[in-house]
Amino acid sequence: MSSAFAKDMWRTVGHGWKRFVSIMIITALGVTMATGLKASCVDLRRSADLFFDGQDLYDVSVVSTLGLTDDDVSAIGRDVDGVDHAVGVYGEEVAIDVDGGRSKANVTALDDGNMDEPLVTDGRLPRTADEAVTTDRYLKDSGSRIGDTVTFGDPIASDDDIFARHPYTIVGTVIDPADINNAEGATAFRDNASSADYDFFVARSAVNDSAKGVYTAIHLTVRGAKDEQAYGTAYTALIDRMKTRLAGIQDDREQARTKQIRDEADADIDAEETKANREIADAQAKLDDAQAKLDGQRTLLDGQAAQLESAMGGLTVDQAAAAGVDAAVRLRDARNQLDEAQRTLDGQRREFAANRDDARNRIARARQKVDDIEPAQWYVRDRTALGGYASIDSDAKSIEAIGTAFPILFLLVAMLISLTAITRMVEEERGLIGTYKALGYRKREILRKYVVYAGLACLLGGILGDLFGFVALPKIIFTIFETMYLLPAFTLHFDWVYGLGAVALFVMVVVGSAVWACRGELRLTPAALMRPKAPKAGRKILLERVRPIWNHMSFLGKVTARNLFRYKSRALMTICGIAGCTMLLMCGFAIRDSVVALSPNQYGGVTAYDLMAVTSQDDHAKAMKALKADDEVRDVLGVRIDSATLSSAGAGSDSSADSSADSASGREENVQLVVVPDGADLGDYIHLREAQSDWSAALGGGATVRLTDDGVAITKNAQQMLGLDVGGVAHIKDSALHGANATVDAVVENYLGNSVFMTQRLYERLYGDYHANAMLAHLDGDSAAQIRFCDSLARDDAYLSVTSTAELVRDFTKNFTLINTVVYVLLVLAGALAFVVLFTLSTTNISERERELATIKVLGFNRREVRRYVNREMIILTLIGVAVGLPLGRLAGEGLTMVLRMPSIYFAVYVQWPSYVISGALSLAFALLVTLATNRMLDRIDMVGALKSPE
The per-residue pLDDT for 204 is 92
CA-to-CA distance for 175 and 133, rounded, in angstroms?
A: 10
Instruction: Give the contacts of 430 (CB within 8 A, at least 6 positions apart).
Output: 521, 529, 530, 532, 533
Q: How confident is the model at residue 190 (pLDDT cuts 50, 70, 90)?
A: low
d(CA 674, CA 671): 9
**φ/ψ (deg, to 5) at 394:** -70, -40
Q: 559 forms bridges with which residues in the sheet? A: none
How many other C-beta atoms lie within 10 A of the C-beta of residue 174?
Answer: 23
Mean pLDDT, residues 100-127 taken together: 88
Reported as half-sphere exposure (CB side, CA atoms, 13 A), residue 438 has a value of: 11
pLDDT value for 616: 82
CA atoms within 13 A on the CB side of 898: 12
What's the pLDDT score for residue 653?
A: 40
pLDDT at 688 over 80: yes
Q: Which of 15-24, 164-173, 179-188 has maximum average pLDDT?
A: 164-173
Tell me which DSSP letter residue 608 carries. -
Residue scoring higher pLDDT (57 or 693): 57
Interior/surface letters 600-634, b for 16+ CB within 10 angstroms, e for the rest: ebbbebbbbbbbbbbbbeebbeebbeebeeeebbe
CA distance to 607, 705, 773, per residue, from 683 (Å): 10, 9, 19
Average of pLDDT values for 650-668? 44
Query: Mind listing the pLDDT tens digit for each residue in 448-501?
Result: 888 888 888 889 988 998 998 899 888 887 877 877 788 888 888 888 888 888
Is the pLDDT score of 22 beyond 90?
no
Instruction: Evaluate whether 191 touches 57 at the Cβ level (below 8 Å).
Output: no
Rg (CA), the chain: 42
**pLDDT for res 815:** 60
Question: Mean pLDDT lowest for which of 105-109, 173-177, 911-915?
Answer: 911-915
Percent of the chain residues past pLDDT 70, beyond the cut? 90
- The answer to whether 110 and 131 are in contact (CB under 8 A) is no
Contacts of 450 (CB under 8 A, 6+ apart): 422, 425, 426, 514, 515, 517, 518
Rounded to whole angstroms, how far apart are CA atoms 44 and 55? 17
Instruction: Decide if 178 contacts 161 (C-beta within 8 A).
Output: no
How is 422-484 classified by DSSP, letter by letter? HHHHHHHTHHHHHHHHHTT--HHHHHHHHHHHHHHHHHHHHHHHHHIIIIIHHHHHHHHHHHH
* C-alpha to C-alpha distance for 414 and 379, rounded to whole angstroms: 52
Local confidence band at 664 (pLDDT 50, 70, 90 cut-offs): very low
Q: What is the mean pLDDT of residues 557-565?
A: 78
Closest by CA to 151, choosing from 183, 184, 105, is 105
The span from the CA of 527 to the CA of 292, in Å, is 145
Please state the pTM of the whole predicted model.
Answer: 0.74
Q: Cα-flanking dihedrals φ and ψ of residue 906, to 5°?
A: -115, 115
Whether 650 shows a pLDDT value over 60: the answer reads no
DSSP structural state of residue 776:
E
Average pLDDT for 295-312: 77
- With beta carbons less than 8 A apart as the criterion, state whether 578 and 837 touch: yes
**DSSP string over 346-413:** HHHHHHHHHHHHHHHHHHHHHHHHHHHPPPP-EEEEEGGGSHHHHHHHHHHHHHHHHHHHHHHHHHHH
Residue among 504, 49, 30, 453 at smallest CA distance from 231: 49
The arithmetic mean of pLDDT across residues 247-259, rounded, is 91
pLDDT value at residue 813: 63
Tens digits of residue pLDDT in 822-838: 777 777 877 787 788 77
Cα 410 to Cα 310, 577, 790, 833, 889: the distances in Å are 134, 10, 50, 8, 14
Residue 449: what pLDDT?
A: 82
Q: What is the pLDDT of residues 193-236, one digit of tens each?
A: 446 778 999 999 999 988 888 999 999 999 999 999 998 889 99
Instruction: Give per-residue pLDDT as tens, 66-79.
Output: 889 999 999 998 88
Q: Which residues have CB under 8 Å from 303's CB, separation 6+?
A: none
Helix axes 863-899, 817-848, angle to 10 degrees: 150
| Res 903 pLDDT > 70 | no
Length of the chain: 951
Q: Pairing state of beta strands 131-134 and 168-175?
A: parallel
User: What is d(CA 297, CA 291) in angstroms, rounded to the nearest whole number?
Assistant: 10
Check whether 949 has a pLDDT greater than 60: no
> 771 in helix, strand or coil?
coil
Dihedrals phi, psi of 904, to nearest 5 degrees = 75, 5
CB 128 within 8 Å of CB 203: yes
